[in-house]
Amino acid sequence: MSFTVVCGGFWGDEGKGKILSFLALKDEPSIVARAGVGTNAGHTIQFQKQEYKLRMVPSGFVNPRIRLLIGAGVLVDPKILLKELDVTKTHDRMGVDFQCGIIEQEHINIDSSNEHLKVKIGSTGSGTGPANVDRVLRKLKIAKEIPELESYLTDVSVEINDELDKGNGVMAEGSQAILLSLFHGSYPYVTSKDTSAAAICSDLGVGPTRVTDVMVIMKSFITRVGTGELPGELSPEETMRRGWEEYGAVTGRLRRAAPFNYDLARKAVRLNGASQIGLTKLDILYPQIAKANDVDMIKGEIEEFIEKIESETRIKVSIIGTGPSAEDIIDLREQV
């Protein structure tokens, strides 16, 4: 078995939640561990006719046999986590690292009123940036100081490394995406931490030699919420005309949209050391592939698009999303 890191290729909202829930059901890792910044992420999962918008609980929750963890690098908002534990009924299999940073109301207040963060950067207002400031100042509370979290506390690094030592599979769930990285993204219009595959490992306390695969998730067109560059950006009218309109899972904002960009795809593959691409929402570009599971549906212009991505990035597209549900997938990994 293996340690697979799943990360975002552009500016977030590539559909990581959907791919992760599919992989959790199909590959059955023992653990799915959430990495990334914190509650600024919103992962949308459609499963068994229900839709979940999760900001803390890992998308792998759809498989009841999987242990769910949140790594030390992630910021936890206890109120949001406890609510999601109720919604997903996952109390008995959730572990929170004892060193996760804690988002408090004051962080949310600053993030949603501060001119620089809210207006210039276009933050999600979830408190993650100000909480990471306090963490760097070494005055942020950590999970082991919060009584409500006591029954969930664990050492995520130990749990994951032990599981890998036993030969079992672990999946790391990144949030945000590479172009939102504080170090490698479109600074200053970025999030408050690195978001690369390497950072995902660091969030969880797993070393780089343990990684078997890095799957970078790319959507068939690009979206961005908040401010900052977006090459090839379409007008809101053109976005709607093409049927590319999306609204932020956390903020409800209409996402800005642009066509797929091969230069950015190459950059994303390199910065993450990606070994495979998960391509989502192909049905939005090509309605003929909607809800398909069959490899034979990849032909003509669809095949050309995928081949172009592969030749430009020099890695394989191994999974294709063909609809919103976790079951709407063409899995090419056997063919790879």
**Which range of residues in 34-42, 64-72, 118-126, 133-141 is near Mg ion by CB under 5 A?**
34-42
Return the C-alpha torsion angle 222, 225, 227, 230, nearest 10. Answer: 0
**Which range of residues in 13-21, 203-211, 226-234, 328-336 is near Mg ion by CB under 5 A?**
13-21
Return the one option of Mg ion, ligand IMP, none that residue 126 interacts with (CB less than 5 to 8 A, by type): ligand IMP
Dump the DSSP string for 210-233. Answer: G--EEEEEEESEEEE-SSS--TTP
Return the one option of Mg ion, ligand IMP, none that residue 318 interacts with (CB less than 5 to 8 A, by type): none
Question: Which member of 42, 71, 127, 226 binds Mg ion (CB under 5 A)?
Answer: 42
**Interface residues toward ligand IMP, by CB under 6 A:** 11-13, 37, 40-41, 121-124, 126, 128-129, 175-176, 180, 189, 191-192, 225-226
Query: Does 165 qualify as catalytic in the annotation?
Result: no
Closest by CA position to 25, among listed 336, 328, 332: 328
Query: Does 13 qualify as catalytic in the annotation?
Result: yes
Closest approach, Cβ 320 to Mg ion, in A, equals: 19
Q: Which is nearer to ligand IMP, 98 or 189 (CB)?
A: 189
Q: Which is nearer to ligand IMP, 127 or 169 (CB)?
A: 127
Q: CA–CA distance from 321 to each of 130, 158, 233, 318 (Å)?
A: 35, 33, 23, 10
323 near Mg ion, rule: CB under 5 A = no
Burial per residue of 193-217, b for 16 or more beta-carbon CB atoms within 10 angstroms, e otherwise: bbbbbbbbbbbbbbeeebbebbbbb
Q: Is 159 exposed, middle or buried (0-12, 13-18, 19+ CB in 10 A)?
A: buried
Q: Which of residues 246-275 bind Mg ion (CB under 5 A)?
A: 249
Residue indicated by tokens 């940036």: 129
Q: Which of residues 168-187 bind Mg ion (CB under 5 A)?
A: none
**CA terminus-to-terminus distance, the chain:** 17
Closest approach, Cβ 168 to ligand IMP, in A, equals: 28
* Annotated active-site residue in 43, 77, 111, 203: 43
Q: Which is nearer to Mg ion, 103 or 143 (CB)?
A: 103
Q: Which is nearer to ligand IMP, 63 or 123 (CB)?
A: 123
CA distance 224 to 202: 25
Q: Compute how many other C-beta atoms are within 10 angstroms of the C-beta atom of residue 151.
A: 11
Nearest-CB residue for ligand IMP: 226
The catalytic residue positions are 13, 43
| Interface with Mg ion (CB under 5 A) | 13, 42, 249
